A and B are shown apart, each in its own frame.
Chain A
């Protein structure tokens, strides 16, 4: 109010220039009546993308264009970035950030929350708040503490453990995925929104922006072919690799680490309902576990074959597909990756045998033979021992 009451020192006809504004706003101690600093750092503004483009204060603080008498009223309209950044503003408005959030304090995220104000830099400027290396910190400003989602706020902490973040942070690899690569910058939507980049409908394309070869492989495999048809059952990237906490398969904590792959695949491939619907066999984990490969894998031996070693991973194909690594014609090559020199004999038998009775009758016969021999022999031993002890007891009773 004191500003209003002050006499007009200088009244100009032409709109206020930046210098006019800075007459007051270069004072670093200038504060609003509520105690909010009103200082504008000239150097920072001049270095900013808007300063470089010689955009004037009143271009953004547009309601000052009409003000003739300075100092101007304290209460100004919020800056409308959309006046220039029309498309971006519209996207944000439609996004989850543009909607008031449910909760105790409705928060609507505005441009300045992510981009800053006077010091805004170009997105390729390392000083920019949205420069790839800086972006996680920018998002974390809210998502680490203030904002709680249904799944809690741990997902951003999980991202900080991920291979994507490690590459970004440790190596400064700006190509590595940051928040905006997967969630978009402005068009951020809930995962359940089909328009979201991370929705089931879009996730393959989103990850495939960087992982092009993997996306192409995936789309050629059985999972990808059904995905394209709109199946809700086939796995997408995140079903196997997890979401924020994506790790290299060589990392022990990755769900697709060599010894953990079987657990991931069997989530669906041991599922009775899916097996009935798609006509595949269940007990994949059980039959794998009882094999030498599976047992070794269970005890942490990473060199033992897991599901992916034989079936491939992104472009998994059915065995009748000539390109499938488990096609009988390719088995010698597939098994030969580890068992050098093992030839066509690998195809003469069954892997994942549930019942040897139908799959390998000689093995079944050997098994039954041994079970009978063991049962008979152990019974005979025990009967003999019982008779011997009984005899000794009888002698003792007599004496």
Chain B
């Protein structure tokens, strides 16, 4: 399935930096705070579950739960502020952000990859169904896997989901934390909406991470048991060529240009 051949300019075992230390710490803080927030928040939604009753049977457990939830929220907010300034004020941050902006290509990538994986049209073609149609429009065969840049549609979606989710959770959570302030500003029924949104957005984020992110970075046979990028930040030339071919090409062309300008 490798569409790109390896080049002399980029060895397959060459190491590229995909996540620098700052990005790794930001990601680690996100994991830490997200986990604490989920664990300390779920008992409020699944208050009937026995496990929470057992875990929280000691005195002041509920109070401590609340304090931990708020501490984690504060760390998450600080982390987001750091990430915000990092994105604006560093060259790498700005370049990453540009790569992260969703484009129409991402929608098409998702579509193409899905039908490529399903392989239904190729099967039909092989059986001789709609032969003339497929010969006329080979796109519908989805023969080629879409080529991704530095961030594929999966990663872009996750990033945007975290951004949107954090925004919703911080706003609603702020007013739940400061219920007196909230009720000075809004009627009770608006405050109730904050509570409902906070709970359901949490469920959404939790399920998205458990199913989507865990599959893509852990259970996916390509990376199983775990992609180590979040720990060492390293990606090999080979991985770059197979997983992010557009970025690979970009680096390749850059090196070619440098080589040419040197030879001049």
Contact = CB atoms under 8 A, between A and B. Distances in A.
A286 to B, nearest CB: 10
Interface string A341-362: 1110111111101001000101
A391 interface: yes
B259 interface: no
B120 to A, nearest CB: 10
Interface string A146-178: 000000000000000000000000000000000
B40 to A, nearest CB: 12
A386 to B, nearest CB: 9
A360 B189 contact: yes
Contacts, number: 125
A382 B215 CA distance: 10
A340 B179 CA distance: 10
Contact of A374 (B47, B183, B195, B200): B200
A366 B211 CA distance: 23
Given A345-B184, A378-B211, A370 B204 contact: yes
Interface in B182-216: 183-193, 195-197, 200-201, 203-204, 207-208, 211-212, 215
A370 B211 CA distance: 17
Nearest to B187: A348
A377 B117 contact: no
User: Main SS of the interface on chain B?
Assistant: helix
Interface stretch (A63-71, A202-210, A215-223, A288-296): A288-296
Nearest to A299: B62
A342 B188 CA distance: 10
Contact of A295 (B47, B188, B191): B47
Contact of A345 (B65, B186, B207, B212): B186
Contacts of A340: 180
A349 B114 contact: no
B213 to A, nearest CB: 10
Contact of B119 (A374, A377, A384, A394): A394
B234 interface: no
A314 interface: no
A377 B184 contact: no
B211 A385 contact: yes
Contact of A292 (B44, B52, B208, B221): B44
A55 B140 CA distance: 121
Contacts of B62: 296, 299-301, 304
Nearest to A394: B119
B25 to A, nearest CB: 28
A388 B220 contact: yes
A360 B201 contact: no
A93 to B, nearest CB: 54
> Among A339, A345, A382, A395, which residue has the most Cβ atoms of chain B within 10 A?
A345
Given A343-B183, A370-B197, A391-B116, A290 B47 contact: yes
Nearest to B65: A299
Nearest to A348: B187
Interface in A277-332: 289-290, 292, 294-296, 298-301, 304
Contacts of A371: 200
A373 interface: yes
A346 B188 contact: yes
A342 B119 contact: no
B117 A390 contact: yes
B117 A387 contact: yes
Contacts of B204: 370, 373-374, 377
B1 interface: yes
B118 A390 contact: yes
A351 to B, nearest CB: 8
Contacts of A289: 47
Given A300-B61, A342-B183, A391 B119 contact: yes
B179 to A, nearest CB: 6
A349 B191 contact: yes
A149 to B, nearest CB: 36
B39 interface: no
Contacts of B1: 395
Contacts of B195: 292
A288 B228 CA distance: 46
B221 A342 contact: no
A191 B143 CA distance: 87
Contact of A353 (B53, B114, B190, B192): B192
Interface of B: 1, 43-44, 47, 52-53, 56-57, 59, 61-63, 65, 110, 114, 116-119, 179-180, 183-193, 195-197, 200-201, 203-204, 207-208, 211-212, 215, 220-221
13 contacts: A292-B195, A339-B180, A349-B189, A353-B192, A363-B196, A370-B201, A374-B203, A374-B207, A381-B208, A385-B211, A387-B118, A391-B116, A391-B118
Interface of A: 289-290, 292, 294-296, 298-301, 304, 335, 339-343, 345-351, 353, 356, 360, 362-363, 366-367, 370-371, 373-374, 377-378, 381-385, 387-392, 394-395
Given A349-B187, A378-B207, 13 more contacts: A299-B61, A335-B183, A343-B183, A345-B185, A349-B191, A360-B189, A362-B190, A367-B200, A373-B204, A381-B211, A387-B114, A391-B116, A392-B221
